[in-house]
Amino acid sequence: MTCSILSIGDELLIGQVVNTNASWLGDQLTSLGITVAAIINIGDERALIRREIERLASTSDLLMISGGLGPTHDDLTREAICDLLGCQLRIDETQLRRIELRFAERGLQLNERSIRQAEIPDACRTLANNYGSAPGLAFTLGGCRAYALPGVPTELKGIFDDEIIPEIAPKTSSIDRQTFLIFGIAESALADRLQELNALLGDGLTLAYLPGLGGIRLRAMRNGDVNHAQERFKKLVLGIEALAAQWIISNRDETMAEAVGRLLKQRGLTLSVAESCTGGMIGMLLTEVPGSSDYFLGGVISYANSLKQELLGVAESDLQQHGAVSQQVAVALAEGVRQRTGSDLAVAVTGIAGPGGGSPEKPVGTVWIAAVSGTQTIVERFQLGRERGIVRTRAANLALGLVRKLVVEE
């Protein structure tokens, strides 16, 4: 089964909004064994929307459409569908009651623009939206089953889970997918390491390398059961586990923060952070994970040297003799925040994110990271490039990597 994804909205084309809906839908569809054949972004133009729906429907078994179902003048998906199917808009009374109730619960006055979201093309079936105002739409065009969803991510995801998956899942093929988080090895070196596994690939079996600043997501996937694909998939996964064992952080499709948090929770350990050049990014990554309060106590953003001294007890002599970006100060920051918060573990980062501030001895991108417990200290120097955003993001993930190393070695 193949599917195309059509995302509608001028904001997607001018870079004002990142199209996270398409990537999320692609991941969900792939996990169901559906091949995503195309992802298309177009603007808010009625005739263009009609043409693209018609074109994509002619080449796909499924079509997912997002955006253009809101209350404003540039929300034109409903009208374009009417043009295509030769029908008129009607008020869906059930959806209107939902909108009225939603506005009443929030203490808002219902207006004509909001009522417009209850208008449904006659030829479409309504998909209930329990997360917002605009319902989804389902219709058939030739041999293609099409679904139009609101562009608001929480609404799109909710309708997809509640209404669409129950319809399409029984028709999909069998699939296996295993995603590893690999950290501490370059993509090219990893590919060389796993080269012997390439003989297993093909005929329904794929291996994808997805590099990022938080590591490499390595995705092994089986779609269908051509030429003993299930048996080859098991061999592929076992081969990865054997050949890349020292760099595997997780086999659960997790981020570094999720993997480290799970490990801390399993061991019953708490963590605190002291951040300079990362400016709170480590704490942000940790607290993006639901339930992180079980193991993350908090931290200090000690950007200025005066705060390093006053809040975390860094010795003035260390700052003067070694500088803020040094092994001594990184360790002092980690020990200081651990003592003040009472956490089992602590990690600290201090560095030069750039673009200025470097020197021949400490060029831009120099970062010291220290992770400490009551009995052990790990401290390392890294050279992370010259782009500020990349330096900070890499440093934050490397810090979490050192925490994991500390826990494993405890």
Same domain, 25 and 106: yes
Whether pLDDT at 410 is above 80: no
pTM for this model (two decimals): 0.80
Contact 214, 393 (CB under 8 A): yes
Q: What average pLDDT does range 170-193 have in this prediction?
A: 91
Q: Are residues 49 and 87 in the same domain?
A: yes
Looking at the fold, whether 397 and 316 belong to one and the same domain comes out as: yes
> Do 74 and 193 share a domain, yes or no?
no
Lowest-confidence region among 16-25, 171-180, 391-400: 171-180
Name the H helices within 116-162. 153-159
Residues with Cβ within 8 Å of 227's Cβ and at least 6 positions away in sequence, in order, are: 203, 204
Same domain as 164, residue 102: yes
**pLDDT at residue 113, as a whole number:** 80
Buried b (16+ CB within 10 A) or exposed e, 194-206: beebeebeeebbe
CATH number at residue 201: 3.30.70.2860
The yes-or-no verdict on residue 260 having pLDDT over 80 is yes
Residues 120 and 65 in one domain: yes
Statement to judge: residues 186 and 270 lie in one domain: no
For residues 13 and 103, which has the higher predicted lDDT (pLDDT)? 13
Question: What range defines the domain where residue 69 resides?
Answer: 2-171
Boundary residue ending a domain (193, 216, 250) = 250
pLDDT digit string, tens, across residues 329-368:
999 999 999 999 999 999 999 999 999 999 999 999 999 9
Residue at a domain's end among 171, 202, 231? 171
CA 182 to chain centre: 16
CATH of the domain at 267: 3.90.950.20
Q: Are residues 13 and 26 in the same domain?
A: yes
**pLDDT-derived band of residue 95, with 50, 70 and 90 as boundaries?**
confident
Mean pLDDT computed over every residue of the chain: 94
Number of CB atoms found within 10 A of residue 83's CB: 18
In this structure, the answer to whether residues 139 and 9 fall within a common structural domain is yes
Residue 96 confidence class, pLDDT cut points 50, 70, 90: confident
Q: In what order do the strands lie in the sheet with 125-127?
A: 35-42, 2-8, 62-66, 144-149, 136-141, 125-127
Same domain, 238 and 321: no
The tally of domains found in the chain comes to 3
- The answer on 151 and 217 residing in a single domain is no
Choosing from 194, 217, 250, the residue where a domain stops is 250
Contact 73, 157 (CB under 8 A): no
Least confident stretch, 83-97, 105-119, 179-193, 293-307: 105-119
Query: Residue 170 above 90 pLDDT?
Result: no
Residues 338 and 241 in one domain: no
The residue among 107 and 22 whose pLDDT is bigger is: 22
Binned at pLDDT 50, 70 and 90, residue 117 comes out as confident
pLDDT at 314: 98
